[in-house]
A and B are shown apart, each in its own frame.
Chain A
Amino acid sequence: MQGSYNIEQQTLAALARGERAATEQIYRDNYHIVSGWIVKHGGVAGDVTDLFQEAMVVLFGKAQDSEFKLTCSIGTYLFAICKHLWYKRLNKNDKSPEVLTDSLGTDDDRTGIAYEDDISVHIEREAHYEQLEFALDDLGEPCRSLLKAFYYQEKSMQEIAADFGYTNPDNAKTQKYKCLTRLKKIFYAKQG
Chain B
Amino acid sequence: MSVNKKISELAESYLAGTMAPEELDVLTARLRSDSVFAAEFQETLDLLRSMVDSGKHRRFKNMLRDVHQEVIDTPVKQKKNYFIFSGQLWRTVGVAASVAFVASTVTFWSLKPTLNKTESKYNTISREVKGLKIAQAKQIEKQKQLEIDLDKTIKSTPPPSDVKKTGTGFALTNNGYFVTAYHVLHDENGYGDSVYILNNDGQYFKASLVTFDADADVAIMKVDRAGFRFADGDLPYTFSKSKAGLGTHIFTLGYPTDELSYSEGYISSRNGFDGNTLQYTLELPVGHGQSGSPMIDGKGNILGLLTAVGSQKEEKTYAVSAKAITDLLQQLPDEKSIKLPKYPKISRIGREQQIDKIEDFTFVVKVYKK
Contacts and interface: CB of A to CB of B under 8 A. Distances in A.
Interface of A: 18, 20, 23-24, 27-28, 31-37, 39-40, 45, 49, 53, 56-57, 60-61, 64, 125, 128-129, 132-133, 147, 151-154, 174, 177-178, 180-181, 183-184, 187-188
A18 B56 contact: yes
29 contacts: A18-B60, A20-B63, A23-B64, A24-B71, A27-B67, A32-B204, A33-B203, A34-B202, A35-B204, A36-B203, A36-B204, A39-B258, A40-B258, A53-B65, A64-B53, A128-B50, A129-B53, A151-B51, A151-B52, A153-B55, A174-B5, A177-B5, A180-B8, A180-B47, A181-B5, A181-B7, A181-B8, A184-B8, A184-B44
A53 B202 contact: no
Interface of B: 1, 4-5, 7-9, 43-44, 47-48, 50-61, 63-65, 67-68, 70-72, 155-158, 198, 201-204, 258
Nearest to A21: B67
Nearest to A133: B54
Given A24-B71, A128-B50, A178 B5 contact: yes
B24 to A, nearest CB: 19
Contacts of B156: 28, 32
Given A36-B202, A152-B55, A152-B59, A129 B50 contact: yes
A132 B71 CA distance: 32
Contacts of A33: 201-203
Given A27-B67, A129-B53, A151-B52, 13 more contacts: A20-B63, A31-B72, A32-B202, A35-B202, A36-B204, A53-B61, A53-B64, A57-B57, A60-B57, A151-B55, A152-B58, A180-B47, A187-B47
Contacts of A45: 158
B59 A154 contact: yes
Contacts of A23: 60, 63-64, 67
Nearest to A29: B156
A35 B68 contact: no
A152 B59 CA distance: 7
Nearest to A15: B60
A45 B60 CA distance: 21
Contact of B67 (A24, A61, A133, A152): A24
Contacts of A151: 51-52, 54-55
B44 A180 contact: yes
A35 B158 contact: yes
A102 B56 CA distance: 37
A32 B43 contact: no
Contacts of B48: 180
A61 B57 contact: yes
Nearest to B62: A152
Contacts of B8: 177, 180-181, 184
A125 B61 CA distance: 14
A24 B198 CA distance: 22
B64 A56 contact: yes
Contacts of A34: 202
B344 to A, nearest CB: 29
Closest 9 CB pairs of A and B: A36-B202, A151-B55, A181-B4, A177-B8, A151-B51, A152-B55, A180-B8, A129-B54, A177-B5
Contacts of B61: 53, 57
Contact of A183 (B47, B53, B64, B202): B47
A132 to B, nearest CB: 6
A60 B61 CA distance: 10
A18 B58 CA distance: 11
A32 to B, nearest CB: 5
Contacts of B57: 57, 60-61, 125, 129
A27 B54 contact: no
Nearest to A184: B47
Given A31-B72, A181-B5, A147 B51 contact: yes
B60 A60 contact: yes
A27 B5 contact: no
A67 to B, nearest CB: 16
A57 B64 contact: yes
A39 to B, nearest CB: 8
A153 B59 CA distance: 8
B67 A20 contact: yes
B46 to A, nearest CB: 9
A137 to B, nearest CB: 13
A24 B63 CA distance: 9
A154 B56 CA distance: 9
A87 to B, nearest CB: 17
A133 B64 CA distance: 20
B1 A181 contact: yes
Given A27-B71, A128-B50, A36 B198 contact: yes
Contact of B43 (A27, A132, A184): A184
Contacts of A20: 63, 67
